[in-house]
Amino acid sequence: NAGVMQNPRHLVRRRGQEARLRCSPMKGHSHVYWYRQLPEEGLKFMVYLQKENIIDESGMPKERFSAEFPKEGPSILRIQQVVRGDSAAYFCASSSSTSGRTDTQYFGPGTRLTVL
Amino acid sequence: AQKITQTQPGMFVQEKEAVTLDCTYDTSDPSYGLFWYKQPSSGEMIFLIYQGSYDQQNATEGRYSLNFQKARKSANLVISASQLGDSAMYFCAMSGFGNEKLTFGTGTRLTIIP
């Protein structure tokens, strides 16, 4: 009964490098969400995806950030040319596709990105 | 737009006492969900409890209950018989109808004193 899986748990990058964060949703869940948490702050929504589709990317920075959720494999959050301000905890959450109610999102353990 | 307000940045509570964490919200959605999550020092986000806007009863999950007052737009979390392991950050969040993004408050840091 695996929960939401994220890897790596910790990622260190130098300025200008690329960061790839992976998320595997809970079994049976087809909706994936990415959130960012800066130190001592709450979580901020970034993007909402279903298989092969981006549903809502209103929280994604316009440049350098992209996300995908392919038909096979995990969801990927990609940050190109990282800067120090990208240092944060990145959380993935998943939910089921039950219609007619607001579905609970279950979170992974997060990836702590540090940009040197 | 949705907004969550948590006005208590930190709270100290004696072990075994009950504690209430405040949360008020604002939304124009006719249907919405309210959530509480716990974030211990290890960093993970743990789902605690959910309340739907049209649910007739206040939600309960073990020692957690949600005091939902729709007219006042409040969704306070009540933890009964607090334990040392309850020390953590607590976030109130909401989403609109269906599978939509969560909007989080700034959190309350709860410390249980032995």
Q: Best residue in B102, B103, B109 to probe A by mutation, most A CBs within 10 Å?
A: B102
SS3 call for A86: helix
Over residues A58-76, the pLDDT tens digits come to 999 999 999 999 999 999 9
Q: Which of B34, B89, B39 is nearest to B65 (CA)?
A: B34
Q: What's the CA gap between A77 and A97, in Å, rounded?
A: 21
**Residue B45 main-chain phi, psi, to 5 deg:** -105, 120
Euclidean distance between CA atoms A107 and A92, whole angstroms: 6
Question: pLDDT tens digit string along B17-49?
Answer: 999 999 999 998 888 999 999 999 999 999 999
CA A48, A61, B93 angle in degrees (round to 5)?
A: 50
Least confident of A52-56, B56-60, B94-98: B94-98
Collapsed DSSP state (helix, strand, coil) of residue A85: helix
Q: Is B96 touching A (CB cutoff 8 A)?
A: yes
Q: Which residue has the tokens 């959720």?
A: A69
Query: Between chains, do B32 and A31 touch, taking CB under 8 Å as contact?
Result: no
Task: Check if B91 contacts A (Cβ < 8 Å).
Answer: yes
The chain B residue lying nearest A103, using CA atoms, is: B99
User: Using an 8 Å Cβ cutoff, are A3 and A26 in contact?
Assistant: yes
- Taking an 8 Å cut-off on Cβ atoms, the answer to whether A89 and B43 are in contact is yes
Q: Which 8-state DSSP code applies to residue A106?
A: E
Which residues in B lie closer than 8 A to residue A106 (C-beta atoms)?
47
Quote the pLDDT of residue B56: 87
Rounded Cα distance between A21 and A75, Å, is 8
Query: Do the chains contact at B103 and A45, CB–CB below 8 Å?
Result: yes
- Computed over its alpha carbons, how large is the radius of gyration of chain A? 14
Separation of first and last alpha carbons in chain B:
41
The total number of residues written for chain A in this structure: 116
pLDDT at position A18 is 98
pLDDT of residue A99: 55
Across-strand partners of A23? A6, A75
Where would I find the H helices in chain B? none
Q: What is the pLDDT of residue A28?
A: 87
Instruction: Supply the pLDDT for residue B67.
Output: 96
Say yes or no for a CB contact (<8 Å) between B101 and A31: no
CA B14 to chain centre: 19
Residue ranges for chain A with pLDDT beneath 70: 1, 97-102
